[in-house]
Structure 1
Amino acid sequence: MGSSDLVVPFRGERYRATDRLSALIAPPYDVISPEQRGRYAAWDSHNIVHVMLPEAMAHEDRYARAAALLAAWRARGVLVTDAEPSVCVLAQEYQPPDGPARTRLGVFAAVAAEPYEAGRVKPHEKTHAGPKADRLALLRATRTNLESIFLIAPDADGALAAELVGIAKTAPTARAELDGVRVRVWVVGGEVASRIAHLASRSPLYIADGHHRYETAVAYAQENPAGDRVLALLVSARDKGLTILPTHRMIFGPGRDPLTLLDRWARFFEVGSLPPRVDPVAGLAAIGARGTACLMALPNGQHLTLVLKANAPLDAVPGLPPSPAVRALDVAVFEELVVKEILLLDTSTPTLTYTPDAREALLAVRKGAATCAVLLNAPKVEQVFAVADAGEAMPQKSTYFIPKVPSGLVLRPLV
């Protein structure tokens, strides 16, 4: 590593054709369905999905195919390399499900790819071997960060956020749009890039999205010490556009009546019901102000409210970790005491699905497709930090950061 700094500028690669950038970028690989992959690929023969999610004939190695395609793009001048180390400031203008439009600011830079034990990059969730093996094979073949991870910088004094706000007031280097999100980018070099990197390096960084990709980068760095950094978008925790959505639970399974669990739940929760004319989403926010709470939508039109009692005997729940940081999470409490209890009500195999859209969950119940929906309030950034600082993991599907970070705005060669 040429510098011991956590964050540094880098010489990136970008698409030469900035006038059609919208047709060349895509969301992160892990939120793209096969159908969506086909749509993005059809937009342009140089769309990033062709190398980020490579396809090949049955007798071909798809990772080698991605490397060959990337080499061909470079040879034909599809990609151009920055003349000097720089950072890339990103603005994403988007519409949250509820509330006014927002703009999130961040900056692409190169971050040290080092084991979590170093304490400078902190996770909040566990990973699985399959996705890491896939990404490592692609990284070995292309020797390029084709997309970024997403990190949050605590930025206690707001200096990083203020620096990015100032840059966003100037004319951008390029513009694009992806799935309704308007994108602006600024390529920034020299002393300003170094200052931004320093501001982002002042404290540990927290992974928002991209745990598998970060751990893949660490594994690659152990094989190739010269490739010991990873492309990352860094967003200040003080950024006004930083949004975390909750991930609501929808349970599909016959033979399950959640109302049979009311007596058990009364041990832990104050159980109530929303008046018929109260909007469920607004009602959920209101009970959330009282503490750890959820709303359960039932097919009969009833909306149960569960608010954790101050003296709830959580020590009697075997599956709930003892960590105060985890127990402070609504999702941890209701996953263990509500969702799992409903799933176990019948021996038939249920289906549990997730959505960040409360209206979608409510509609599924209203139409009779879902047995029930458990609606949650979003965790706070500070709660994500607390879990990571405690060395714990949040339950699966706890956070949903929006908007997703576009892939293809900038690439980072490792050689």
Structure 2
Amino acid sequence: MNSAGHSEATAPRGLELTPFRGLRYDPDRVGSLAAVTSPPYDVVVRPDGLHHLQSADPYNIVRLILPQATTPSVRNEQAADTLRRWLSEGVLTTDSEPGLYVYEQRHDDGMLQRGIIGALRLSDPADGVVLPHEDVMPHVVADRAALMRATSANLEPLLLTYRGDGTGTAAAEAVERTAEQPPLLSTTTEDGFSHRLWSITDPAALSRIQSDLARHQALIADGHHRWATYRRLRAEHPSPGPWDFGLVLLVDTARYPLRVRAIHRLLHGLPVAEAVAALDGLFRVRRLEGPLPAALETLADAVRASNAFLLAGDGAFHLVDRPDPELLARTVPADRPAAWRTLDATVLHATLLDHVWHIPEDSPAHIAYIHDTAATVEKAERDGGTAVLMHPVREEVVRDLARQGVTMPRKSTSFGPKPASGLVLRALDA
């Protein structure tokens, strides 16, 4: 990837990753490190997954990232009180030296991902240092900002990718060399992923990594709402200061390619029969018999020819494809690149949600965004709603659109594996 940045004085600047003193669980104070971790806040399937995580350990990180109370203000104050109590009790402790953290995720299916966790200086969109690729929902940014204000902490890193040359760079060498050493922590979570964490505190090594990363720009793979939250809070606080930075995991995808999965939609209050009936004459709809994996294979074949989706929730699967070209011409904005206009997510939001089904995309009462495919189907069947299953977008399409400054519809992609929440936190008042 070409380096990009903005100028401070006359020097161009790319990614500026800064060491910090991480907050980490004391393994002697918790049942197990695996029991206190969680997927990122927006991946937790609620309420089932939330209840499961809360009962896994009294110190599970969901009590900070997804506090439960009657009102938002009470929830956020509860999270702040919980964080203060865990710090005072020594459940969470602050590392003695500032450092950058090497983080590894490994799975039996062959997936291996390594990256660097640090505090990244926040940049303006015009600088081209950090490229978003999705729109955000204002109410989610407001919610995350209120929680971050109350706790004065970055509770979980967002995931950024950059393109090194794969080997030979200072950052890549530091990651691989560090991963040969005994880790600070090692645990395996119930999803089958093993997690290891190391810290790099040597000033010379840190300087080499920082100089290397300063030549690069990054793509937000996961965490658009948290990035928007970081930027909102930076504007609220004096600069220079700790709010000028946000907690991130940086992965070189030339060396460790990410997997790109779809994020599915659950439409509350819209039965499948009504959703299908509304498509008459607008899309082709075919009922599929058989299990979910077979239906997803049929969807993968269908998207090669046109926009395509799977509807579920009534015990069967319905393949929706071949939209009427005149319908698309009327409903999809024409002032965007062709790659954007033809995205499944674009057609879903502009044509189906807005024009056909009349469902507001940012209303939690009407729509939920769920990463787990089977869970989306199960919840639709249980609640009488409609699951809309998507096929993932290729990473090259995402990156090309981001370079053009074009954002995709919200919740268009799910890059992974995502960092586990709870392994390292960053306090802003330390």
> C-alpha distance in 2, partners of 1:194/1:359?
45
Letter in 2 for 1:88: Y
* 3-state secondary structure, aligned to 2:86: helix
Q: TM-score, normalised by structure 2?
A: 0.75
Which residue among 107, 117, 131 is the counterpart of 1:122? 131
Kindly tell me: are residues 204 and 291 of structure 1, through their superposed partners in 2, closer, same or farther at Cα, counting changes over 3 Å?
farther
* Equivalence for 1:236: 252
Report if aligned partners of 1:145, 1:413 keep a CA contact under 8 Å in 2. Answer: yes
Matching of residue 168 in structure 1 with residue 179 in structure 2: yes
* 3-state secondary structure, aligned to 1:186: strand
Comparing 389-398 with 165-174, which one deviates more in the overlay? Answer: 165-174
> C-alpha distance in 1, partners of 2:347/2:255?
29
Kindly tell me: are residues 165 and 259 of structure 1, through their superposed partners in 2, closer, same or farther at Cα, counting changes over 3 Å?
farther
Which residue among 99, 104, 112 is the counterpart of 1:103? 112
Aligned CA RMSD, in angstroms, stands at 4.1
* Equivalence for 1:283: 298
* Equivalence for 2:392: 378
* CA positional deviation for 1:16: 2.5
Matching of residue 131 in structure 1 with residue 140 in structure 2: yes
* Equivalence for 2:18: 8
Matching of residue 412 in structure 1 with residue 421 in structure 2: no
* Equivalence for 1:49: 62
* CA positional deviation for 1:21: 1.6
Which residue among 87, 93, 103 is the counterpart of 2:100? 87
Which residue among 24, 33, 48 is the counterpart of 1:21? 33
Kindly tell me: are residues 406 and 362 of structure 1, through their superposed partners in 2, closer, same or farther at Cα, counting changes over 3 Å?
closer
* Equivalence for 2:321: 306
Report if aligned partners of 1:155, 1:236 keep a CA contact under 8 Å in 2. Answer: yes
Comparing 116-125 with 155-164, which one deviates more in the overlay? Answer: 155-164
Comparing 106-115 with 321-330, which one deviates more in the overlay? Answer: 321-330
> C-alpha distance in 2, partners of 1:67/1:219?
19
> C-alpha distance in 2, partners of 1:323/1:413?
40
* CA positional deviation for 1:373: 5.9
Report if aligned partners of 1:258, 1:342 keep a CA contact under 8 Å in 2. Answer: no
* 3-state secondary structure, aligned to 1:256: helix
Matching of residue 396 in structure 1 with residue 407 in structure 2: no
* CA positional deviation for 1:174: 0.9
Report if aligned partners of 1:105, 1:241 keep a CA contact under 8 Å in 2. Answer: no
Report if aligned partners of 1:7, 1:111 keep a CA contact under 8 Å in 2. Answer: yes
Which residue among 60, 78, 81 is the counterpart of 2:91? 78
Report if aligned partners of 1:26, 1:40 keep a CA contact under 8 Å in 2. Answer: yes
- For structure 2, list consecutive stretches of 5 or more residues without a partner in the other structure: 1-7, 360-364
Kindly tell me: are residues 81 and 322 of structure 1, through their superposed partners in 2, closer, same or farther at Cα, counting changes over 3 Å?
same
* CA positional deviation for 1:82: 2.7
Report if aligned partners of 1:320, 1:332 keep a CA contact under 8 Å in 2. Answer: no
Kindly tell me: are residues 370 and 386 of structure 1, through their superposed partners in 2, closer, same or farther at Cα, counting changes over 3 Å?
farther
* CA positional deviation for 1:229: 0.4
Report if aligned partners of 2:23, 2:92 keep a CA contact under 8 Å in 1. Answer: yes
> C-alpha distance in 2, partners of 1:185/1:134?
29
* CA positional deviation for 1:109: 0.8
Q: Deviations over 1:192-228 (max 9, x none)?
A: 3443344433222222222222222223222132121
Count of matched residue pairs: 397
* CA positional deviation for 1:110: 0.9
Equivalent runs, 1:322-361 vs 2, <5 Å:
322-324=335-337, 325-337=339-351, 343=357, 355-358=370-373
* Equivalence for 2:198: 186
Q: TM-score, normalised by structure 1?
A: 0.77
* 3-state secondary structure, aligned to 2:274: coil
> C-alpha distance in 2, partners of 1:301/1:34?
24
Comparing 111-120 with 160-169, which one deviates more in the overlay? Answer: 160-169
Report if aligned partners of 1:250, 1:370 keep a CA contact under 8 Å in 2. Answer: no
Q: Deviations over 1:311-348 (max 9, x none)?
A: x6798234335322412423223544456565269xxx
- For structure 1, list consecutive stretches of 5 or more residues without a partner in the other structure: none
Q: Deviations over 1:165-206 (max 9, x none)?
A: 454344322112334232121222223344334443322222
Letter in 2 for 1:400: S
Q: Deviations over 1:246-299 (max 9, x none)?
A: 134566436537478565448xxxx999899993323333344x4544254687
> C-alpha distance in 1, partners of 2:290/2:74?
58
Kindly tell me: are residues 328 and 91 of structure 1, through their superposed partners in 2, closer, same or farther at Cα, counting changes over 3 Å?
farther
